């Protein structure tokens, strides 16, 4: 990638520090195109239709239940007093977190010059967008009258009111909508040269029309690449700050309140870590499926999955640290309310959820210390599924347990989700995987223009800045 050249002068990397080759086997720019760009032109196999039918059915179930909620009101959920926030906010935080892995891979790893990201960045970015779409549903339906959700934005209105800029909930509106717009832009910019490649190789007139429109007439001029690369680097830098800010702002929804168990300074880094953790697990799950079903083993290599698993392991250790710090804060604060809530995390009615969180997020990922587990499908899928479950339950612990016993014992209440709650949660997974399936068949799943410059011999030999 060119941004590397813009960042630092060319250096000779000593042998032990050289990263393994990004692809396996003999891959040329032409063969890469043939391998990756064939899918949009091909008729999908039967198993794809079966999978799509399943995920789309679950998605439709979710939307029907959302419609039911609109008609009946949110009384059909299990939310009660004092557990005003439950599944909807858990799911929101969960999905926004999933999205963070994509931006981390596309932006932060680009700045860190982790070249292995180029092969998986496109898929991870797409997952970011789909996850944020899933996330966006939940605050919208939680407001109860979502057709008035535009009231969240400061616009001149006949009520002569403005929104409250001191509320973290409003910061959230700005953070999440900015995050979605920027992720979409970043993803689309990366797609433009790939869509141009699709445009020039397709034979179907209809497809060619759409590819032409969406490639904006990209012609690969050197003068264009120059600005393009600069824009990409700038976007990466800006998205890096953005991704760290978004989950911090999400954590402010909790930390800025006075609820015991929420009002802690550790929340922003704790949430960002958890987001990256859950997101990487989801990326691993999806990548394994894509790698196997789409025959991309030479492009998404075991090396990629191994590195991803190492990131998951690191994040798991950080999560363990955060959990210990939460307990320490509760003890050291000498605040009896905080102490009580922390004991509820591990011994209360929902104590099982607390222990499930610790087991899934801290204990099980320790298996990844073993190279054999990091490089086996069974091992990594087991860990990633455990992390996905664990991270969902972590948000359950934070939100439901902290709320269900607040300062006033007379208002304590047990929370029980209803079938509608579970249905909408399932529906969000249906939406996510439906979009993933459609994406895998309509657009290039690997950023070919980002992988091509890393292939052997892709850069001019005399340039000297060639980092192979």
Residues in 31-70 that interact with other proteins by CB under 8 A: 33, 70
Q: Of 35, 39, 61, 178, which one interacts with other proteins (CB under 8 A)?
A: 178
Instruction: Looking at residues 363 to 422 of the shown chain, list those that interact with other proteins (rule: CB under 8 A).
Output: none
Q: Of 35, 376, 418, 459, which one interacts with other proteins (CB under 8 A)?
A: 459
- What are 384's two structure tokens? 């990633």
Rounded CA-CA distance 463/453 in Å is: 13
Q: Of 239, 305, 424, 446, which one interacts with other proteins (CB under 8 A)?
A: 239
CB atoms within 10 A of CB 371: 11
Rounded CA-CA distance 98/22 in Å is: 25
Q: How far is the CB of 145 from other proteins (least distance, A)?
A: 8
Q: How far is the CB of 437 from other proteins (least distance, A)?
A: 26
- What are 87's two structure tokens? 């599944």
Stretch that binds other proteins, among 49-57, 238-246, 269-277, 391-399 (CB under 8 A): 238-246
- What are 265's two structure tokens? 């300074």
- What are 383's two structure tokens? 């860990």
- Closest residue by Cα to residue 390 from 326, 328, 323: 323
Residue number, 2 or 376, with CB nearest to other proteins:
2
Task: Say whether 264 sits in a helix, a strand or coil.
Answer: coil
Cβ atoms of residues 57 and 207 within 8 Å: no
Q: How far is the CB of 23 from other proteins (least distance, A)?
A: 14
Q: Of 19, 20, 28, 456, which one interacts with other proteins (CB under 8 A)?
A: 28
Cβ atoms of residues 97 and 281 within 8 Å: no
DSSP structural state of residue 107? I
Give me the DSSP letters along 300-348: S-HHHHHHHHHHHHHHHHHHHHHHHHHHHHHHHHT-HHHHHHHHHHHHS
Q: How far is the CB of 294 from other proteins (least distance, A)?
A: 20
Give the count of residues interacting with other proteins (CB under 8 A): 80
111: contact with other proteins by CB under 8 A = no
Instruction: Looking at residues 245 to 274 of the shown chain, list those that interact with other proteins (rule: CB under 8 A).
Output: 245, 249, 252
16: contact with other proteins by CB under 8 A = no
Residue number, 109 or 249, with CB nearest to other proteins:
249
Stretch that binds other proteins, among 285-293, 322-330, 407-415, 450-458 (CB under 8 A): 450-458
Stretch that binds other proteins, among 18-26, 41-49, 156-164, 352-360 (CB under 8 A): 156-164
Residue 212, classified by CB atoms within 10 Å of its CB into exposed (0-12), middle (13-18) or buried (19+), is middle
Q: How far apart are the first and last CA of the chain?
A: 12
Instruction: Looking at residues 270 to 299 of the shown chain, list those that interact with other proteins (rule: CB under 8 A).
Output: none
Cβ atoms of residues 423 and 63 within 8 Å: no
Rounded CA-CA distance 202/41 in Å is: 7
- Residue 151 phi, psi (nearest 5): -65, -15
Q: How far is the CB of 311 from other proteins (least distance, A)?
A: 24
235: contact with other proteins by CB under 8 A = yes
Residue 340, classified by CB atoms within 10 Å of its CB into exposed (0-12), middle (13-18) or buried (19+), is middle
Cβ atoms of residues 127 and 101 within 8 Å: yes
117: contact with other proteins by CB under 8 A = no
> CA 118, 302, 196 angle in degrees (round to 5)?
30
201: contact with other proteins by CB under 8 A = yes
Residue number, 224 or 413, with CB nearest to other proteins:
224
- Closest residue by Cα to residue 123 from 423, 461, 437, 334: 437
Cβ atoms of residues 189 and 231 within 8 Å: yes
Residue number, 229 or 335, with CB nearest to other proteins:
229
Q: Of 8, 47, 334, 461, which one interacts with other proteins (CB under 8 A)?
A: 461
Residue number, 226 or 411, with CB nearest to other proteins:
226
- What are 206's two structure tokens? 């209809």
Residue number, 28 or 411, with CB nearest to other proteins:
28
Instruction: Looking at residues 215 to 234 of the shown chain, list those that interact with other proteins (rule: CB under 8 A).
Output: 216-231, 234
Q: How far is the CB of 466 from other proteins (least distance, A)?
A: 7
Q: How far is the CB of 197 from other proteins (least distance, A)?
A: 4
Q: How far is the CB of 87 from other proteins (least distance, A)?
A: 20
Q: Of 9, 14, 16, 30, which one interacts with other proteins (CB under 8 A)?
A: 30
Q: How far is the CB of 355 from other proteins (least distance, A)?
A: 34
**Alpha-carbon 218 to chain mean position:** 29
Residue number, 214 or 382, with CB nearest to other proteins:
214
Residue number, 20 or 73, with CB nearest to other proteins:
73
Stretch that binds other proteins, among 127-135, 166-174, 295-303, 421-429 (CB under 8 A): 166-174
DSSP structural state of residue 23? S
Q: Of 25, 73, 75, 456, which one interacts with other proteins (CB under 8 A)?
A: 73
């Amino acid at each position: 990638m060119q941004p590397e050249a813009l960042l630092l002068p060319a250096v000779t990397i000593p042998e032990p520090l050289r990263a393994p080759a990004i692809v396996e086997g003999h891959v040329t720019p032409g063969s890469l195109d043939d391998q990756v760009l064939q899918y949009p032109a091909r008729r999908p196999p039967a198993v794809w239709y079966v999978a799509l039918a399943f995920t789309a059915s679950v998605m439709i179930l979710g939307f029907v239940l959302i419609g039911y909620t609109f008609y009946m009101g949110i009384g059909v959920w299990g939310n009660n007093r004092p557990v005003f926030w439950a599944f909807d906010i858990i799911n929101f935080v969960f999905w926004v977190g999933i999205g963070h892995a994509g931006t981390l891979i596309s932006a932060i790893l680009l700045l860190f010059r982790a070249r292995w990201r180029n092969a998986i960045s496109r898929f991870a970015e797409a997952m970011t967008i789909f996850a944020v779409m899933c996330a966006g549903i939940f605050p919208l339906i939680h407001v109860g009258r979502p057709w008035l959700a535009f009231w969240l934005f400061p616009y001149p209105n006949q009520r002569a009111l403005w929104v409250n800029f001191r509320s973290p909930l409003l910061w959230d509106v700005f953070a999440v909508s900015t995050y979605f717009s920027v992720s979409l832009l970043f993803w689309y910019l990366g797609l433009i040269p790939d869509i141009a490649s699709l445009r020039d190789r397709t034979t179907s007139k209809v497809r060619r029309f759409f590819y032409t429109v969406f490639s904006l007439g990209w012609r690969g001029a050197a003068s264009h690449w120059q600005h393009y690369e600069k824009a990409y680097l700038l976007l990466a830098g800006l998205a890096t700050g953005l991704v760290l800010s978004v989950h911090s702002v999400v954590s402010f929804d909790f930390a800025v309140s006075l609820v015991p168990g929420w009002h802690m300074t550790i929340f922003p880094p704790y949430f960002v870590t958890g987001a990256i953790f859950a997101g990487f697990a989801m990326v691993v799950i999806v990548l394994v499926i894509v790698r196997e079903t789409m025959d991309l083993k030479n492009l998404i290599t075991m090396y990629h999955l191994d590195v991803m698993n190492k990131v998951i392991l690191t994040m798991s250790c950080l999560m363990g640290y955060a959990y210990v710090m939460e307990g320490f804060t509760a003890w050291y604060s000498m605040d009896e309310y905080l102490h009580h809530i922390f004991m509820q995390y591990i011994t209360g009615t929902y104590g099982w959820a607390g222990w499930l969180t610790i087991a899934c997020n801290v204990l099980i990922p320790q298996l990844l210390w073993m190279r054999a587990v990091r490089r086996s499908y069974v091992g990594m899928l087991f860990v990633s599924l455990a992390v996905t479950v664990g991270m969902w339950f972590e948000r359950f612990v934070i939100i439901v347990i902290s709320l269900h016993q607040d300062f006033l014992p007379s208002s304590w209440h047990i929370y029980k989700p209803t079938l509608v709650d579970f249905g909408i949660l399932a529906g969000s997974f249906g939406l996510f995987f439906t979009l993933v399936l459609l994406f895998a068949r309509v657009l290039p799943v690997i950023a070919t223009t980002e992988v091509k410059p890393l292939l052997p011999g892709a850069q001019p030999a005399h340039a000297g800045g060639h980092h192979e």
